[in-house]
Every structure is written in C-alpha cells, then in structure tokens.
Amino acid sequence: MNTRCKDPAEVSGPSAPPCHPAGELTDLAAGHPAAATTGSCVTCSDGVIEMEIVRLEEGGLALARASAGVEEISIALVQAQAGDTVLVHAGEAIAVV
C-alpha cells in the first residue's frame, strides 16, 4: 500500500485521487487492518467524509450533503443514486456505503 504518495503511476483511472491506488482509501475508511500500521498520506491525510447524494447532475457529477453543507462532487468512480450515502475523498466519491 502506498500511503506516502511515492509513485503517481499507481493511480488507477483519470478520476482517481492523485496520490492513491484505487481502493486504498476505501480499505482505510472501512477499518482495514492496514490503517493501523501504515500511517497516513502526507498530502491528503487519507481524509474521507460521508455524504448523502441529493441530486445527480450531468457529466458524472452530483450534489451531495454533509454536515458542512451541500457541494458538487464527482461520482465517476461509483454507481450512486439520489439518497445513497457515499465516502468522498478530495471531491471524489470512492465508495457507496
């Protein structure tokens, strides 16, 4: 697992967070044992927040609500519907929960 952002070539897909291989953040967010032993990314702190999809928009975008308010996020990496709760990292939904 690359939590130190050493190799940008490990990124999977054009919309993946720029310092993580696809799936890494969902493992950390889901309490994967690696979260306790590998530390966190020095760029993004591996931060994810739960957000509720309010409305789907064109171009793989959606309006989503969190405790801080409503914002536009990308849902290009997940299959989400209005009402779904997603984990969001750097404006990108990375998992439906």
Residue-wise pLDDT tens digits, 61-88:
999 999 999 999 999 999 999 999 999 9
How far is the first Cα of the chain from the last one, in angstroms, to the nearest whole number?
A: 22
Q: Which residue has the tokens 């890494």?
A: 24
Domain 49-96 has CATH 2.30.30.140: yes
DSSP label of 23: T
Q: Model confidence over 12-69: pLDDT tens digits?
A: 444 444 555 545 555 555 554 544 555 666 566 778 999 999 999 999 999 999 999 9
- pTM given for the model: 0.58
The ranges assigned to domains in the chain are 49-96
Instruction: Specify the pLDDT at position 52.
Output: 98
**DSSP one-letter code for 87:** E
The larger pLDDT score, comparing residue 11 to residue 80, is at 80
